[in-house]
Homo-oligomer: A and B are copies of this chain.
Amino acid sequence: MKIAVLGVGLIGGSIGLAARQRLGSEVIGWGPNRPTLERAEELGAIDRSAASVAEACEGAEVVFCACPVSALTELARAALAASGPEAAVTDAGSTKREIVAELGEDARFVGGHPLAGAETAGVGNARPDLFDGARWYLTPTEHTAPGAYERVEAAIRELGGRPRALDALAHDRLMATVSHLPHVIADVLVGQAASELARDSEQLPDVGPSFRDATRVAGSNPAIWGDIFAANREAVVVAIDDATARLREVRELIASGDATEIAAWHAQAAELARRLEEDAGAGSEG
């Protein structure tokens, strides 16, 4: 199988390594940065580099686009223009609604998002086992050719990932809820505590793990998170609205002062948390 990797950083490099070692694929790399391409070739992440997107995509059966989200739609568009009618083009961007809205009518495009590599960057950190056991979302549309979807899905399984089809909007909302919203809330809690403490020149009292746990990610990697919040703004806004609506509900419950009803609500959260953990445990085997 001939594979093109457009953008050979951590994700693209790891796709190349895994594809060459596990699928025995021929991997052609392209990227805007000549030294990075040369490094990828040295590290064995690609067989050879192409001078253009068109050259990289020529004859490729699957094209992986793995550049930063802000440049992704244009790169994938160029890949589709350069690829043959039987090719499948996918991407590795962490938000999906925007790119799918732009390219989802092309039968050869399959949006993708591997949940891996968040902590590091660069082809120097690429590993053939980066995706082992990792969820890899795919966001086909009604226009996606079944053959293109199946080819991408099969390749991802061979790379070690656990593919799952999800509507692009559902994907973005899910990421907003389980990752982006907790980051927003961590920032809010920190700002609120700072105001409250400043009012009485008091220090942060040690009242148990709830505050520190909830704010551990406050302000982490501002540049990266600025881009994530901006790219996924529609879904993050929906998640914030959902959270504020839920907070308004529990506000009324707590204002009622009915300790029994409040305890029942709180106990329900314990049950849901337990179920989420069970599901996650089961999921890691799937």
Task: Name A's B-contacting residues (CB within 8 A).
Answer: 115, 118, 134-135, 164, 166-167, 170, 173-175, 177-179, 181-194, 196-197, 199-200, 202-211, 213-220, 222-223, 225-227, 229-231, 233, 236-237, 239-244, 246-248, 250-251, 254-273, 275-277, 279-280, 282-284, 286
* Complex: chain B residue closest to A175, CB-CB: B207
- Structural contact, A178 and B190, CB atoms closer than 8 A: no
In contact, A269 and B186 (Cβ under 8 angstroms): yes
Residues of B within 8 A of A226 (CB): 259-264, 266
A276 x B189 contact (CB < 8 A): no
Q: A222, B115: Cβ atoms under 8 Å?
A: no
Partner of A192, one of B229, B243, B258: B243
A–B pairs, 11, beta carbons within 8 Å: A135-B205, A173-B196, A177-B193, A186-B269, A192-B246, A194-B276, A203-B282, A209-B216, A215-B273, A219-B273, A240-B247
Question: Which B residues are CB-close (under 8 A) to A270?
Answer: 218-220, 222
Are A179 and B219 neighbours in the complex by a CB distance under 8 Å?
no
Q: Please name all residues of chain B whose beta carbon is closer than 8 Å to the beta carbon of A259 when the two chains form the complex.
A: 226-227, 229-231
Which of B219, B247, B265, B267 is within 8 Å of A269, CB to CB?
B219
Residue of B nearest to A284 (CB): B206
Chain A at the B interface: mostly helix, strand, loop or mixed? helix
Whether B262 and A197, one on each chain, are in contact in the complex, defined by CB atoms closer than 8 angstroms, is no
**Is there contact, CB below 8 Å, between A167 and B200?**
yes
A203-B286, A230-B257 given; name 11 further pairs at CB < 8 Å: A174-B200, A185-B243, A186-B214, A192-B239, A192-B243, A197-B276, A206-B280, A208-B217, A219-B273, A225-B263, A233-B255
Closest to A282 in B: B203
Q: Are B135 and A189 in contact (CB under 8 A)?
A: no
Known contacts A167-B200, A193-B178, A246 near B280 by CB under 8 Å = no
Instruction: Indicate whether A202 sits within 8 Å of B166 (C-beta atoms), given known contacts A181-B192, A254-B233, A270-B219.
Output: yes
A50–chain B nearest beta-carbon distance, Å = 30
Contact partners of A134 in chain B: CB under 8 A: 206
Cβ contacts under 8 Å, A227 to chain B: 259, 263
Q: How far is the CB of A172 from chain B (nearest CB, A)?
A: 11
- List chain B residues, Cβ under 8 A from A210: 179, 182-183, 186, 216-217
